[in-house]
Chain A
Amino acid sequence: MAAETPAVLRFENVTVSFDGDVALRDISFAAFEGESRIILGAAGSGKTVLLKTAMGLTKPESGKVFVFGQDISTMPEKRLFDIRGKIGMLFQESALFDSLNIAENVAYPLLNQPSIQCPAAEVMPRVKRTLEFVELGETLEKFPSELSGGMRRRAAIARAVVTEPPLQMYDSPTAGLDPITAHTIMALLIKERDVSQATTLLVTHRYQDGNLMANFRYNSEQGALEPVRNGAQQKSRTTFMVMKEGRLVFESDQDAIESSKDPYIGKFVKQRV
């Protein structure tokens, strides 16, 4: 369909292994501009490795990874920094720097990404704006260890999106959180997606997160989520991917995943209550 426009992210037969243990096996897919991809899968199925490979943090053993049309699988680390400047990533364990406070953490990509030229006077206002966006405007001076898990997750989201990257990847943003905080965080991610029109990869254990991503959008007038009426102007397409033991076993839209007969896939969908 979108053969003309280059994919934002494309995997071509990517295999990743650690000392002989295969973590990703022959993965191929492509994500296009404005698309949301929900990546489901059991623990240890390779979701985190997939995201890290997309960022060039782990190198594929074979196959190619294209980000914004450039092959990053053989690129030296120095040149990768330019591409990473266009990707925002939320790590599974947040990975905030504990020696820096929250404001410094969020300012870090603005000050350190070589490809991002942010005037010094702009840094603090942008940090404040982003932290207010994730409703953490009061905690600039606090250190990560002084925050709750959900707050840390939100601070890490702020750090991932402060540069307004066109490709955003979130690793299990709702894992281990209570339903209310989890919903708040999902609302934030949808808001971020709709405000910045970014391509989004969302790794999650919960099908309902994917359901929210697929069927809700952020209404900037009311400042709340609202359901997208079925079929109406579905500009932001949502694709579901299911990983199993390093393989990509399913890739299609929501209707297909809900009608899937596969018991492994069914287990993820049935969680939807």
Chain B
Amino acid sequence: MVASECGDRTYLLDLLKEPVLDVQEFFLLAGRALKNIFRRPHYGDDIILQMDAIGVGSLPVVVMIGCFSGVVMALQMSRALAQYGQVGKTGTLVSLTLVRELGPVLTAIMVAGRNSTGMASELGSMKVTEQIDAMRALGTDPIQKLVTPRVIATCVMLPLLTIIADFVGMVGGFMIAKFVLSIESRQYWTSVWRALEWNDVTQGLLKPLVFALVVSLMGCYHGLRTTGGTQGVGKSTTQAMVAATVLIFVLDVLITKVFVSQGGS
């Protein structure tokens, strides 16, 4: 406010100050959370609890999303392939799109919707009811106790969920292939299997790992910086969801770019 009187340059700097500070704060939190993975004390119970909430809790919805995306991909791809008389290649396309893109991205978005928001609202309400302060007062580092277990649990569970989603999606594609397109099961599964190269598998596992960091850290970051009562909790919850989703897509593009320019196909 004072700066606006001192000319445009300082005003612009003032405008930039807040986002820059936010980014810095985010990376500080991320750094501390990751450093704590190798430091004692470890809160094993909290990790298990979070794994249950993230992994087991998200399983039904991830299975459903995976299955339907496999079904839809098979239907759409077979129609496009029919123009070239290549309906038999349906399995290849389903497999590639699922492992490279749909599996990681859709699963991450589902988990962001369930768990980024959950973390933001849980940590946010702890913040506004002074529980975070109480935690510090009673001898625990909130980052160690709250953030690190969530990061670890998400980094373990999201890749697993993605693998499940990929597989269920392939099964979904298989049902279409068999009952609608009358492709032989053997042919479908062979084409699914042959389509995948190491490049695809690493890409398909690296993505969920990176997305897991985004999902958990965005949820915790927005939760911990909550201010202003219950209203603030609602706000951080929304922000966490939006930020996580946008970042997932941005990082997806970046990772894909790296792999496309690296691998030939």
Interface residues of A (CB under 8 A from B): 52, 55, 57, 77-78, 81, 84-85, 87, 89, 91-93, 95-98, 108-109, 112-116, 159
Q: List 16 A-B contacts (CB under 8 A).
A: A57-B133, A77-B141, A81-B139, A84-B137, A87-B137, A89-B134, A91-B133, A93-B129, A93-B130, A95-B130, A97-B126, A97-B135, A112-B138, A113-B139, A114-B139, A116-B139
Question: When the two chains form the complex, which single residue of A77, A87, A97 contacts B134, counting CB atoms closer than 8 Å?
Answer: A97
Which of chain A's residues have a CB closer than 8 A to the CB of B140? 112
A78 → B minimal CB distance (Å): 8
Contact partner of A95 among B133, B139, B141, CB < 8 A? B133
B139–A92 CB distance below 8 A: no
Most chain A CB atoms below 10 A, which of B129, B130, B137, B141: B137
CB of B42 closer than 8 Å to a CB of A: no
B130 touches A84 (CB 8 A): no
Residues of the B chain whose Cβ atoms lie less than 8 Å from the Cβ of A93: 129-130
| Docked CA distance A38–B90 (Å) | 78
Which residues of B come within 8 Å of A, CB atoms? 126, 129-131, 133-141
Contacts of B138 in A (CB 8 A): 84, 108-109, 112-113, 159
CA distance A116 to B139 in the complex (A): 10
Q: Considering the chains assembled together, what is the distance between the CA atoms of A91 and B134 in angstroms?
A: 8
Contacts of A116 in B (CB 8 A): 139
Indicate if the CB atoms of A97 and B131 lie closer than 8 Å: yes
> Other CB < 8 Å A-B pairs besides A77-B141, A91-B133, A108-B138, 7 of them?
A55-B137, A77-B136, A81-B139, A84-B139, A96-B131, A97-B135, A109-B139
Given A91-B130, A93-B129, A97-B131, A57 and B137 touching (CB < 8 A)? yes
Q: Contacts of B130 on A, CB cut-off 8 Å?
A: 91-93, 95
Asked if A95 and B131 make an inter-chain contact with CB atoms under 8 angstroms apart, the answer reads yes
Q: Complex formed: what's the CA distance from A25 to B137 in Å?
A: 24
A89 and B129 contacting across the interface, CB-CB below 8 Å = no
Closest 8 CB pairs of A and B: A113-B139, A95-B134, A95-B130, A109-B138, A112-B139, A91-B130, A112-B140, A81-B139
| Residue in B closest to A97 when the chains form the complex, CB atoms | B131
CA distance A52 to B130 in the complex (A): 11
Instruction: For B137, list chain A residues within 8 Å (CB).
Output: 55, 57, 84, 87, 89, 91
The CA-CA distance from A87 to B133 in the complex, in Å, is: 14
Contacts of A98 in B (CB 8 A): 129, 131
Shortest CB-to-CB span from B121 to chain A, Å, is: 13
Are A84 and B131 in contact (CB-based, < 8 A)?
Answer: no
Assembled-state Cα–Cα distance A91/B137 (Å):
10
Q: Say whether B129 contacts A95, CB under 8 Å.
A: yes
Distance, CA A96 to CA B133, complexed state (A): 11
Q: Which residues of B contact A92 (CB under 8 A)?
A: 130
| B49 closest partner in A (C-beta) | A99
Contacts of A57 in B (CB 8 A): 133, 136-137
Q: A139 to B141, alpha carbons, bound, how many Å?
A: 28
Complex CA distance for A52 and B134, rounded to whole angstroms: 10
A82 nearest CB neighbor, chain B only: B139
- Among A78, A92, A95, A113, the most chain B Cβ lie within 10 Å of the Cβ of A95
A52 contacts B131, C-beta separation under 8 Å = no
A108 contacts across to B, CB distance below 8 A: 138
| B133 neighbours in A (Cβ, 8 Å) | 52, 57, 91, 95
